Structure 1
Amino acid sequence: MCSPMPAPICLVENVNGSLLVSDSAITYLRGISQPVVVVSIVGLYRTGKSYLMNRLAGKERGFALGSTIESKTKGIWMWCVPHPANPNHTLVLLDTEGLGDIDKGDSKNDAWIFCLAVLLSSTLVYNSRGTIDNQALENLHYVTELAEQIKIKSPASAQAEDEDEEDFQFVRFFPNFIWTVRDFVLDLVIENKGQVSEDEYLDFALQLKKGTGKKISNYNLPRQCIRNYFPTRKCFVFPLPATQDKMTRLESLSENDIWPDFLKVTQHFCDHVFTVSEVKTLKGGQRVTGRMFGHLVQSYVETISSGKVPCLENAVVAMAKIENQASVEEAVKLYQSGMEQVKILFPVGLSKIYDEHQKLTNMATAEFTKHSFKDEQGEYLKKLTEEIEKHFAELLVQNMEKSEIKCQKLLSDLYLEISEHLQQGEYAKPGGYKLYSKHKESIINKYHSQPDKGVSAEDVLGKFLNEKRTEADMILQTDTKLTVQEKKIEEEKERSALLDLKCKAENKRIQELEKMMTAAKQHSEELLQQFMKKFEEENLQQKQELDKAVEKKMHDEKELLQKGFEEQAQSLNREVQQLKKQSEEVSSSNYMDYAKYAVDVGKDLLALYLQYKVGIQMSGLKLPI
């Protein structure tokens, strides 16, 4: 988690009707690795939105409050604070520019501010003043435009018949909805019902009218949209906070100057937001971190600025590319950092370097799997595997070279004793070959007794002895003490010793490679298990998303039937059936494909191991398979 944000900063600037993302805000969000709970507030200008956001931040001051008719908040301002109820989450508060600002006079710009608040939030607070009447709902006409301003599927994947039905899916992805009514001075009493709760008051205000015609349709439309689009609805009515003369300076008032009833409702509002607001998720249920949220803001604002309609599916695809590439880079860094600790010890045996490689590969893959999502074709997993194997191959070569250098120096130092005897002519005397062989055997024993020679020890020794064969043969042939037959026996013993040394080196290498292949197979199986777990988690997220939408639609369907809206209830029932069908398809879809994909990736891993191991040469010989 990055350092605390002492005050709000601008997230999206609104400059002459153009929306621009603040670089400093995105930089700050990149430092937040925790999941984010995003609460946005929207509403007409000068309705006291900023005061509520400051209370959610646990501060008396922060978001700008205005005491004149001029709107103080321009664009969207952000305040990231520790979540008061969950220390593992970050609470992101978004205070939006007041809608209907007379100085701005741009309803299209207002609509995009509202649209962004919906797209970015896990909880959306709509703040109004007075009562929830028809005028208040007409002021919320932006909600009726969401179907035109937001698309779920990209044009490439959407079918023609989807367009008319797509908006019923919004409930899966839209935030929870809270309506806060400020300066409420009426009694919560409804004719024929008596005293009602705040939520019942909201439901009463959202009741549909029976009948047909344009007037009734216009009356019902915003009410239907609020009912259909948002998964939950909640209402808070706030009494006047203080006397009229003090209300203009609410920010500077102490709690003693604010009426207790207002403070009580404010506390209930904050407690509800902290308890009910969930982590921001993408289409498919992917939980959003601060870094991901920054990418999401950029994606939506760039789309809007280009004149296109934001698409949830496209946003997920773009996010997946960015996050998966970042996950690859971070996983590779984790692997490389761990292998640097082994590199310090070079030269080491093949088992040592491979054991560390295997352990760190598992760690890197687990780290990648934890943060990646929607890598459906395995593109980024393969990138990770290739990067790791490429680095591992380079390390193998470096380890081999270090081993060669160390072993060559060791033999060179040990051989100084024989060189001195050669210069003194001690091997040119009768019986010189026996003395030479004794000294050579001593050097070999001393060489073998030296620890940490690395993977090239036997190869370098074999090559060294092979290079000295001419020298040994000359000493053998000039030794007058030996008969011709004895010389032939000694020659055969020399060839046999070299061959035996070579065979031992090859057998050891084969054993080590077999161990590596066994470990690679085990890694493939572990990879399959990781992917099955990842698949099940993503499936569960999608199913929960759909089941939640089904539950909401079924509740609304039952309510409409009870109130005699049979036609609307039938329409909702059709939506419920489609959502249930989608839920069933998610439960069974792609399981075999996903399993096959993971197995194929495992095969690719084995192929890559072979490719790199066979491609590395030791002493001019390719490693045997």
Structure 2
Amino acid sequence: MPPIPPVTQPICLIENDVGKKMRVNPEAQKILEKISHPLVLVSIVGPYRSGKSSLINMLAGDQRGGFPVGHTVEAKTRGIWMRCVPRSDHTLILLDTEGLGDVMKGSQHNDFAVLSLAMLISSVMIYNEKTTINQDALEKLYKMSEQSEWILDRKAREDGDVGGWEESPLFIWVVRDFTLKLELGAGPISEDEYLENSLKDITPEKSPNTQYKNEIRRALRAMFPVRKCFQFGVPTSSTQSVEDKGNLQEDFVRKSKELSQYIHENAKVKTLQGGQPMTGPILGKLIPKYIDVVSTNNISILVDQISHISVEHNEQIIASATKLYEDKMGSKFINTEREFQDLHDACMDEAMRYFQGCYFKDPNEEWTKSEDKLKTTLMKKKDDVWKMWKDSSEKTCKDLIQRLSESLKLKPDQQHYHAAGGHQKFTRDKNRLVSEYNKEAKKGVMAEHVLQDYLKEIEPMEEIIKQTEKKLSEKKNQEYKVDNMTDTGQLSRYISNYRLENRNYDSILIQMIGFVGHGKSSLVNSCLYAMSSKGFQDRAGEGRTNEAETMIRKAYPLTETMVLVDNPGFTKLDSCEIFAQLNNCVGLSKDMVWGVNEGLEPITERKVNKPDIIVPVLIHSAKYSLNDQEFTSMKELITSSHKRSRIMPFVVLTNRQDAKSDVLKELEGKFHKMHVEQIHAIENYTRSDHVAIRKQHLDILTFLYYVLQNVDFIF
């Protein structure tokens, strides 16, 4: 809570009207309740018409206005008035008391009550007296001290114990209109020496009267262990008003500044037992009890009240610290449990620091009990706040998933998932939902938990879709079952309708690898021709013998499931070339160039969510044998391809018609030694020779059929 704004005009703090009991002004209490800063309380006491109000106005830096200043024998100040002056780390409260010896009050008890209240309230007490330090003033202060000693525990301080209920205020004796020379014996003395000389014992102590005077001096020295003296000359000429600052004597102004500076440097915050700083709310509650104490001489009133205030104050501090924690915890949006814990730790530390700074340090109460109570309260609030964050986040996330699932029609009763390709559609929609869900901001601490719960919830639905699709696929495959391997129609229908719908793969990639000029591109054209109802087209770019036409990987869709991939050929086979070929035997990426499909525009990008099945196919011309070095390298290529793809590479021997039978037989034998199981001798269609022949079609379709059979066996 910030300090209150400057209170430029004084307000009566304690009312003391003639014939009535002293009481606290409720309006002043309201002001005190707003002052959370520690208080430095400076009071001024002394005979009426001695210039107290004008002096305290000067301390406030306000010669005009402020506390009322009188010019007649009638006392202007009744009771105790206060003026609040905010400082950076405390609030200065100036207290102007009614004058002592007012004949209108006619009661010494009233004077002693005012003096005692000023002493109890203040951290600095200024006694303002005219002319000299005299015996009458000492006796008034002594009687006040006698009335207050049971409150301030003077005896304990005399014994060296500073554990009384209150600390004695800093005592300043201001002697006004001082005209004497500060000399003692043969030399000058200081103002403080003048005060100390006035308070020292009179010797020799022979008479009862002297003993009484010394008793007074000893009591005052004990009552005010820290004391200071300031002497002021006459402020103005006899014809001028003290209200007019321009008329003040130069020495008087200088002395006022010295007094103000001394108070500024030496005045301390008012503290209670245990070092508890006095604040506005505490002072407002204690003043009525101070009045009761000086009126009844019943110390238990104050003891009980301080204990009550400490308990009440600490309960309020615990409530305020808890509110601070709650406000801070609600000031930042939380996305994760880690963020929540970090925020809790920071808010917990701040609340505990606030509590420790404002806690009422009552020695009769173990502060750890209140601290433990606050910690328990904050941990309970932590659980409440965490539940609030969880509940709010859970609702937000569930509503978001509900909205996304409706927009994507991702529901169990959607029949379009229970059909061919349904699982692929379902997976695509599920991934889209997850992507859109993750893009949404401020989902809160339950975001991942709710998403995983949802994905787990739809697992049975996904399994049903997979099983349904599997049955449909099996039924479909049964419909297109090949009973006669010489029937090109059956083979073609089986290959065209083959699907991977019940497996977690996107496509079957037939990766063509081999020497330059051995017919890879021609085999691509031949497969497309055998599976098409249209005529032959050189879509792969048929090359010339021993010259490479394919310079980059190109892909050609054969069916909805199968893709032919034509890779650049190699001129020699060594470890570097094997590595290059193996790098080509991977799934399709965005840098893949797709061939034109039946007059459509070339496809340059392919987005898939699942991996491809790689089927390596080595194309080798039956006209060329393998030497020993090529055999060894070819075996390494086939073995490495097998390990990478899980499918033993197929071997397609091209140019069968032009090959010598012994060379063809030798090649087949060498590839068998490499553990190749599928060796197909095929005559490719070419630009110059592409008249459809049943035997050529049958060889090509048989090769594609066994590719699918191997896929079924492995995957």
Change in CA separation of 1:67 and 1:333 when aligned onto 2, cut-off 3 Å: same
Q: Which residue of structure 2 aligns with residue 208 of structure 1?
A: 201
Deviation at 1:324, TM superposition (A): 3.0
Residues 385-420 of structure 1: per-residue CA shift (max 9 Å, x gap):
234333322222222222222332333234347857
**Matched letter for residue 73 of structure 1:** T
* 2:177 aligned residue: 183
Amino acid at match of 2:188: Q
In the alignment, the residues of structure 2 paired with residue 437 and residue 262 of structure 1 have an alpha-carbon distance, to the nearest angstrom, of 96
> Is 1:398 the counterpart of 2:400 in the alignment?
no
Contact 1:2 1:32 in 2 (8 A): yes
Q: Deviations over 1:435-487 (max 9, x none)?
A: 57646753674477445544434543455456556656766776644889xxx
Q: Distance in 1 between matches of 2:404 and 2:254?
A: 88
SS at match of 1:40: strand
Among residues 192, 195, 199, which one is paired with 2:192 in the alignment?
A: 199
Q: Look up the equivalent residue of 2:226 and give its one-letter code.
A: T
Partner of 1:92: 93
SS of match in other structure, 1:81: strand
> Which of 246, 249, 259 is the matching residue for 1:255?
246
- In structure 2, relative to structure 1, the CA distance for the partners of 1:145 and 1:471 (3 Å cut) is same
CA offsets per residue over residues 238-294 of structure 1, 9 Å max, x none? 333345455xx433x4433x4444444434333333333233232333443445444
2:431 corresponds, among 442, 446, 457, to 442
Please state how far the C-alpha of 1:104 moved relative to its aligned partner. 1.2
Measure the CA separation in 1 of the matches of 2:165 and 2:76: 32
**Aligned alpha-carbon RMSD (Å):** 3.9
Report if aligned partners of 2:34, 2:281 keep a CA contact under 8 Å in 1: yes
**AA matched with 1:368:** F
Deviation at 1:425, TM superposition (A): 3.4
- Tell me the amino acid that sits aligned with residue 76 of structure 2: K
Structure 2 counterpart SS, 1:288: coil
* Structure 1 pair 52–72 and aligned structure 2 pair: CA distance change class (3 A): same
The Cα shift of 1:166 comes to: 9.3
Structure 1 contact 17–106 (Cα < 8 Å) conserved: no
Q: Distance in 1 between matches of 2:92 and 2:73?
A: 30
Pair 1:43-2:46 in alignment? yes
Change (3 A) 1:370 1:141: closer
Q: Secondary structure at the match of 1:179?
A: strand
SS in 2 for 1:178: strand
The answer on 1:24 being equivalent to 2:27 is yes
Q: Which segment drifts farther, 354-363 or 126-135?
A: 126-135
Cα offset, 1:119, TM superposition: 1.4
Matched, 1:221 2:215: yes
Deviation at 1:27, TM superposition (A): 2.6
Residue 59 of structure 1 corresponds to 62
1:372 to partner: Cα distance: 2.0
**Normalised by the size of structure 1, how large is the TM-score?**
0.65
> How far does residue 367 in structure 1 lie from its aligned partner after superposition?
2.2
Q: Tell me the alpha carbon deviations over residues 185-242 of structure 1, each in whole angstroms, 9 at most, x when there is no partner.
A: 333334x444333222222222213447643332122211111111222223333334
State which of 72, 75, 88 in structure 2 corresponds to 1:71: 75
Change (3 A) 1:310 1:13: farther
The answer as to whether partners of 1:149 and 1:310 remain within 8 angstroms in 2 is no
Pairing of 1:226-237 with structure 2 (within 5 A)? 226-237=220-231
Match of 1:4 in 2: 6
Note if 1:413 corresponds to 2:403: yes
Unaligned 5+ residue runs, structure 1? 154-160, 485-490, 494-625
Deviates more, 1:19-28 or 1:207-216: 207-216
Q: Which piece of structure 1 moves more, 468-477 or 319-328?
A: 468-477
Which runs of structure 2 are paired with 1:571-590 in the superposition (5 Å)?
A: none
Contact 2:152 2:167 in 1 (8 A): no
1:421–1:117: structure 2 CA closer, same or farther, 3 Å change rule?
Answer: closer
- 2:216 maps to a residue whose letter is P
CA contact (8 A) 1:29 1:293 kept: yes
Residue 71 of structure 1 aligns to which amino acid in structure 2? A
TM, length-normalised to structure 2: 0.57
How far has the Cα of 1:171 moved from its partner?
11
Residue 464 to residue 60, structure 1, CA distance change in 2 (3 Å): closer
User: In structure 1, how many angstroms separate the alpha carbons of the residues matched to 2:191 and 2:79?
Assistant: 31
Change (3 A) 1:419 1:116: same
Report matched runs for 1:545-584 at 5 Å: none
Distance 1:313 1:476, change over 3 A: same
Give the structure 1 partner of residue 151 of structure 2.
Answer: 150
> Quick check: 1:81–1:90 contact (8 Å CA) kept in 2?
yes
Q: What's 1:354 paired with?
A: 341
Q: Does residue 113 of the first structure (1) align with residue 114 of the second (2)?
A: yes
The question of whether the paired residues in 2 share the 8 Å contact of 1:73 and 1:98 is answered with yes
Deviations 1:559-607, CA, capped at 9 Å, x for gaps: xxxxxxxxxxxxxxxxxxxxxxxxxxxxxxxxxxxxxxxxxxxxxxxxx
Deviations 1:302-342 (A, max 9, x none): 55567633787666545543543343333333322222222
Counterpart of 1:126 in structure 2 is 127
Mapped contact 2:151–2:165 kept (Cα < 8 A): no
**The structure with more radius of gyration:** 2
Relative to 1, partners in 2 of residues 1:315 and 1:279: Cα closer, same or farther, differing over 3 Å? farther
Matched-pair contact (CA < 8 Å) for 1:131–1:184? yes
Q: 1:328 aligns with which of 318, 325, 349?
A: 318
SS in 1 for 2:274: coil
What is the deviation of 1:54?
A: 1.2
Tell me: CA distance 1:200–1:35, structure 2 relative to 1, closer, same or farther (3 Å).
same
Aligned AA for 1:110? D
2:275 is paired with a residue whose SS is coil
Measure, in 1, the Cα distance between the counterparts of 2:338 and 2:255. Answer: 67
Match of 1:386 in 2: 376
Q: 1:285 aligns with which of 275, 278, 285?
A: 275
CA deviation after TM superposition for structure 1 residue 40, in Å: 0.9
**Percent of aligned positions that are identical:** 34
8 Å Cα contact 1:350/1:454 also seen in 2: no
Counterpart of 2:132 in structure 1: which amino acid?
T
Alpha-carbon distance change, 197 to 419 in structure 1, aligned in 2, over 3 angstroms: closer
Closer/same/farther in 2, CA of residues 450 and 41 from structure 1, 3 Å limit: same
Partner of 1:140: 141
After superposing the two structures, state which structure 1 stretch, 285-294 or 179-188, moved more: 285-294
Which region of structure 1 is more displaced relative to structure 2, 13-22 or 462-471? 462-471
C-alpha contact (below 8 Å) 2:156/2:163 kept by paired residues: no
More helix by share: 1
* Cα separation, partners in 2 of 1:166 and 1:111, compared to 1, 3 Å: farther
8 Å CA contact 1:283–1:313 kept in 2: the answer is no
Residues 189, 195 of structure 1: 8 Å contact kept: yes
Task: Read off the aligned partner of 1:372 and give its amino acid letter.
Answer: Y
- Mapped to 1, the partners of 2:195 and 2:90 lie a distance apart of 30
**In structure 1, what is the equivalent of residue 667 of structure 2?**
none
- SS of the residue 2:22 aligns to: strand
CA distance in structure 2 between the aligned counterparts of 1:197 and 1:7, rounded to whole angstroms? 36
Q: Name the CA shift for 1:263/1:397 in 2 (closer, same or farther; >3 Å).
A: closer
Change in 2 beyond 3 A, CA 1:140/1:413: closer
Match of 2:570 in 1: none
After TM superposition, the structure 1 stretch with the greater mean CA deviation from structure 2, 46-55 or 202-211, is 202-211
Moved more, 26-35 or 164-173: 164-173
Q: Given the alignment, which residue of 232, 239, 254 partners 1:238?
A: 232
Ranges in structure 2 where 5+ consecutive residues have no aligned partner: 476-501, 505-715
Find 1:274's aligned residue among 252, 264, 278: 264
The one-letter amino acid of 1:7's match is Q
1:118, distance to aligned residue in structure 2 (A): 0.9
Residues 325, 152 of structure 1: CA spacing in aligned structure 2 closer, same or farther, 3 A cutoff?
farther
